[in-house]
Amino acid sequence: MGKRSNEPFLWLLFSAGGMLAAILIPIHVFLFGLAFPLGWLHGPSYQSLLELLKQPLTRLYFFVLCTLSLFHWAHRFRYTLYDGLQIKHLDELINTFCYGGAALGTVLAAYLLWRIP
Amino acid sequence: MAGPTEYLPKTFRPRVSTYWWLGRWSYLKFILRELSSIFIAWFVILTLLQISALKRGPADYVQLQEWLRRPILVALNALSLFFVVFHTVTWFNLAPKAMSIRVRGKPVSNLLITAPNYLAWLAISAAVAWLLLRG
């Protein structure tokens, strides 16, 4: 029981998040991280972005994208710490940090997206 | 009296350096791929910050956009873009290895599994960009 039985479920979240992140994140980082701040492209206005975020579908999109991406991070980063730094003996601490962080992010995303003024 | 064998370890485990992944390109690539997850988490943090600023009002939103114009943030996001694209490419290229599909007993060519992923990436990226840029 315990860790071993959770593994397939966590792996499923990892791979679903990996797929979603692979397809969706690059364009978001390109636009909001580079193209808009550097003025290569004209970003959407505050009002139009808010209108977009009011749509239930947009909020669901961001919720799923954020949650699954975080669980993808949690799973992969956990093994990076295990293998990269060889600190598998700290697994309880690492698991709490990784999956706890992902769970916290999920709650935060839900809270932020629940109501958009 | 302790015999000499008592001091011998039960199994011999050679010590692996903490920097084992620096030795070979394929190892380094593995670690870079694993580290891409940090930038995916960074993307989520930035997205939640954006949503939070949007909720608080135009002044907060403008302030966040100003912050994102700082050279350090632009550099960080350029690095993020490199890592998330690295994630995408390694993820898609791994797909044929993860699912070996056979049609009439013959394995399907890798390209047939990889190409649709790249096409979906392009089409969906274009759709997201269109949704954001029309307004």
Structure tokens that stand for A45 in this block: 């206005």
CB contact under 8 A, A105 and B121: no
Residue B8 has pLDDT above 80, yes or no: no
Residue A79, Cβ density class (10 Å: 0-12 exposed, 13-18 middle, ≥19 buried): middle
User: To probe the interface with B, which of A47, A51, A62, A73 has the most B CB atoms within 10 Å?
Assistant: A73
Q: 10-residue block means of pLDDT along chain A (117 residues)? A: 69 92 97 96 93 94 97 93 81 91 96 88
B35, B37, B74 member nearest A34 (Cβ): B74
| Between B60 and B19, residue with greater pLDDT | B60
CB contact under 8 A, A43 and B55: no
**Complex confidence, ipTM:** 0.91
Q: Distance between CA atoms of B35 and B8, rounded to whole angstroms? A: 38
Task: Name the fold adopted by B20-83.
Answer: 3 helical TM bundles of succinate and fumarate reductases (1.20.1300)
pLDDT of residue B135: 59
pLDDT of residue B7: 66
Residues B77 and A33 sit within 8 Å (Cβ to Cβ): yes
Q: Give A28's contacts (C-beta < 8 A, 6+ positions apart).
A: B43, B47, B128
pLDDT of residue B79: 97
DSSP letter, residue A43 = P
Domain boundary assignment for chain B? 20-83, 99-135
Domain boundary assignment for chain A? 45-117
User: To probe the interface with A, which of B28, B132, B133 has the most A CB atoms within 10 Å?
Assistant: B132
Structure confidence at residue B9 as a pLDDT band (50, 70, 90)? low
Neighbouring CB atoms inside 10 A of B48's CB total 18
A37, A44, A46 member nearest B132 (Cβ): A44
| Between B56 and A85, residue with greater pLDDT | B56
Structure confidence at residue B51 as a pLDDT band (50, 70, 90)? very high
Could you tell me if B122 lies within 8 Å of chain A, comparing CB atoms?
no
Neighbouring CB atoms inside 10 A of B61's CB total 19
User: To probe the interface with B, which of A10, A12, A25 has the most B CB atoms within 10 Å?
Assistant: A25
Q: How many CB pairs under 8 A join A and B?
A: 153
| Cα maximum dimension of chain A | 53
> Which chain A residue's Cα is nearest to B135?
A44
B73, B133, B135 member nearest A41 (Cβ): B133
Q: Distance between CA atoms of B21 and B38, rounded to whole angstroms? A: 18
Degrees, nearest 5: CA angle B71-B74-B80: 145
B40, B58, B91 member nearest A69 (Cβ): B40
Neighbouring CB atoms inside 10 A of B95's CB total 15
Rg of chain A over Cα atoms, rounded to whole angstroms, equals: 17
Structure confidence at residue B66 as a pLDDT band (50, 70, 90)? very high
Q: What is the mean pLDDT of chain B?
A: 88
Place of tokens 């939640």: B48
Residue B44 has pLDDT above 90, yes or no: yes
pLDDT of residue A1: 43
| Interval B74-124: pLDDT, tens | 999 999 999 999 999 999 998 777 777 777 788 778 888 889 999 999 999
